[in-house]
Amino acid sequence: MARTALSAGRTLLVSGPASLTLIEGEATVLGAPVEREERLLVREEKQIAVEAATDSVFETSLGENATCTDIEGTTIPTSWKNLADAVLETPCPKILTVGDVDSGKSTLCTYLANMLLDKYPSVSVIDADVGQSDIGPPATIGLGVTDGCLLSLADLNLISMFFVGHTSPAAVTDKIISGIRKLTQLPPAGRDPLIINTDGWVAGDEACAFKARMIDEIHPDLVAAIGSDYVNPIVDVVRATTIKVRSPSVIRKRNREERRKLREFSYRKHLEGSVTRHVEFNRTRLRGAEVRNGRLIGATQKLRSIVGFLNDDDFLLDIGILKGVEQGNGILRIYTPFKKPVSAVEFGAVKLDESGKEFL
């Protein structure tokens, strides 16, 4: 452990794996106050910016390749503060964010949630970034609700999930829009202020049409368009009130390998405690697969596929990995932490091993 002093008005930019604890002074993360003696964990490939409201002292512990940089001023753009003012003036707002990969969408959603908590007892968030979800596992859309201020969207309490089965939005545009729409109709999303985080696919005509259709069907009160010029064609065609904001002055850019490692960490987290259980496919409602003459069609091609266990309303209960198919016995062997009775199983396109490693 090392002690790090931070003067009032300056920011400590910490990239993980690392931890830090406020020992003296007052500080915030994205508008959320940091509690004295609270240990903040920063995972590998993640980054947080801690702003000192007064002269402060932290205990810091840095892992391999972690960094801790003292910078002047704030990383929060003025345009974010102006957006927050507009959001707070809108009664029980529904806000949807659009922006490129690594433009700061999740960070903006976290900041807006913290600002709304000054006015509302709770805020709901839907994370529809199927490749880099912070609420549920990859290949899903998650609905979470605040339980106090947030340091990241991962701090939300999970309420419900929708299974998409892909980490690339281009292959499942209809399903993503349908999933967001279904989740917006659930409590508490229907009564709380609601923030919707979306994926980073914004470049090109198909991406523009996808985001424009999403906005048209979800009907947000405000659209926050963040970052690059790629969002301009989207802004130009949508009818919703749109506010353009800048990306943070300091942002961590991730390459494809780093994003894959984040996904695999999330798969491992959500598969923790898994065992192999047997599911009778002739007695189970299947989606994304067909049974003909008592046999699962294309069984070999589906091995290692991510699967979702669904409830009667088609919301996701948990995930698993298809390890094997016993055609003669009508059995699916699925590696999963899910232990309740199974009524429906949906097959996705992502392939995984038991450690959460993706097969490309």
pLDDT digits (tens, 9 = 90+) for 67-91: 999 999 999 999 999 999 999 999 9
One DSSP character per residue, 28-55 reads EETTEEPPTTPEEEE-BT-EEEEEESSS
Chain segment 5-19, per-residue pLDDT in tens: 999 999 999 999 999
| Residue 137, C-beta contacts closer than 8 angstroms, at least 6 positions apart | 266, 267, 269, 270, 319
Is the pLDDT confidence value at 321 over 90? yes
Establish if 293 belongs to a structural domain.
yes
Establish if 44 belongs to a structural domain.
yes
Taking each helix axis from N to C end, the angle separating 205-218 and 173-184, rounded to the nearest 10 degrees, works out to 20
Asked if 107 and 61 sit in the same domain, the reply is no
Chain segment 46-72, per-residue pLDDT in tens: 899 999 999 999 999 999 999 999 999
Beta bridge partners of 14: 48, 68
Establish if 359 belongs to a structural domain.
no
Beta bridge partners of 27: 52
Sheet strand arrangement including 39-42: 2-6, 56-62, 18-24, 39-42
CA-nearest of 208, 202, 240, 235 to 222 is: 240
Q: pLDDT-based confidence at 326, cuts 50/70/90?
A: very high
Phi, psi of 115 (to 5 degrees): -65, -40
| CATH number of the structural domain spanning residue 328 | 2.40.30.330
Establish if 358 belongs to a structural domain.
no
Percent of the chain at pLDDT above 70?
100
Give the mean model confidence (pLDDT) for residues 119-144: 96
Its sign, for the CA torsion 172, 190, 108, 78, is: positive
Asked if 192 and 313 sit in the same domain, the reply is no
Q: Are 59 and 1 in contact (CB under 8 A)?
A: yes
Q: pLDDT-based confidence at 353, cuts 50/70/90?
A: very high
Asked if 119 and 142 sit in the same domain, the reply is yes
Give the mean model confidence (pLDDT) for residues 303-320: 98
Q: Are 151 and 114 in contact (CB under 8 A)?
A: no
Q: pLDDT-based confidence at 250, cuts 50/70/90?
A: confident
Provide the pLDDT for residue 174. 98
Other Cβ atoms closer than 10 A to 293: 5
Asked if 68 and 88 sit in the same domain, the reply is no
Domain holding 319, by residue range, is: 258-351
Asked if 172 and 289 sit in the same domain, the reply is no
Query: Strand pairing of 275-280 and 194-198?
Result: unpaired
Provide the pLDDT for residue 93. 97
Q: Are 211 and 202 in contact (CB under 8 A)?
A: yes
Asked if 60 and 152 sit in the same domain, the reply is no
Mean pLDDT, all residues of the chain: 95
* Angle of CA points 259, 263, 269, to nearest 5°: 145
Measured distance CA(293)–CA(146) in Å, rounded: 48
Is the pLDDT confidence value at 233 over 80? yes
Q: Judge if pTM exceeds 0.85.
A: yes
Asked if 184 and 90 sit in the same domain, the reply is yes
Q: How many domains does the chain have?
A: 3
Query: Strand pairing of 140-145 and 157-163?
Result: antiparallel
Is the pLDDT confidence value at 131 over 90? yes
Q: Are 153 and 127 in contact (CB under 8 A)?
A: yes
Other Cβ atoms closer than 10 A to 68: 18
Q: In which region does residue 9 sit, left (phi positive, over 0), alpha (psi from -120 to 50) or beta (all else)?
A: left
Establish if 357 belongs to a structural domain.
no
Residue 120 corresponds to which tokens in the numbers above?
């509302």
Q: Where among 36, 54, 72 does a domain terminate?
A: 72
Q: Where among 72, 91, 114 does a domain terminate?
A: 72
CA-nearest of 2, 155, 160, 121 to 66 is: 2
Q: Where among 245, 274, 299 does a domain terminate?
A: 245
Where b means 16+ CB within 10 Å and e means fewer, 242-255 reads bbebebbeeebebe
What's the N-to-C CA distance of the chain in angstroms? 40
Establish if 123 belongs to a structural domain.
yes
The reply to whether omega before 93 is within 30° of 0 (cis) is no
Asked if 321 and 219 sit in the same domain, the reply is no
Is the pLDDT confidence value at 189 over 90? no
Establish if 119 belongs to a structural domain.
yes
Phi, psi of 210 (to 5 degrees): -65, -50
Is the pLDDT confidence value at 360 over 90? no
Q: pLDDT-based confidence at 228, cuts 50/70/90?
A: confident
Of the two residues 273 and 189, the one the predictor is more confident about is 273
Asked if 209 and 268 sit in the same domain, the reply is no
Chain segment 264-304, per-residue pLDDT in tens: 999 999 999 999 999 999 999 999 999 999 999 999 999 99
Establish if 277 belongs to a structural domain.
yes
Percent of the chain at pLDDT above 90?
92
Asked if 67 and 111 sit in the same domain, the reply is no
Taking each helix axis from N to C end, the angle separating 105-116 and 78-89, rounded to the nearest 10 degrees, works out to 50
Asked if 86 and 66 sit in the same domain, the reply is no
Asked if 192 and 90 sit in the same domain, the reply is yes
| CATH number of the structural domain spanning residue 215 | 3.40.50.300
Q: Are 90 and 84 in contact (CB under 8 A)?
A: no
The label of the residue with tokens 């999303």 reads 189
| CATH number of the structural domain spanning residue 45 | 2.60.120.1030
CA distances from 33 to 12, 148, 248 (A): 14, 10, 19
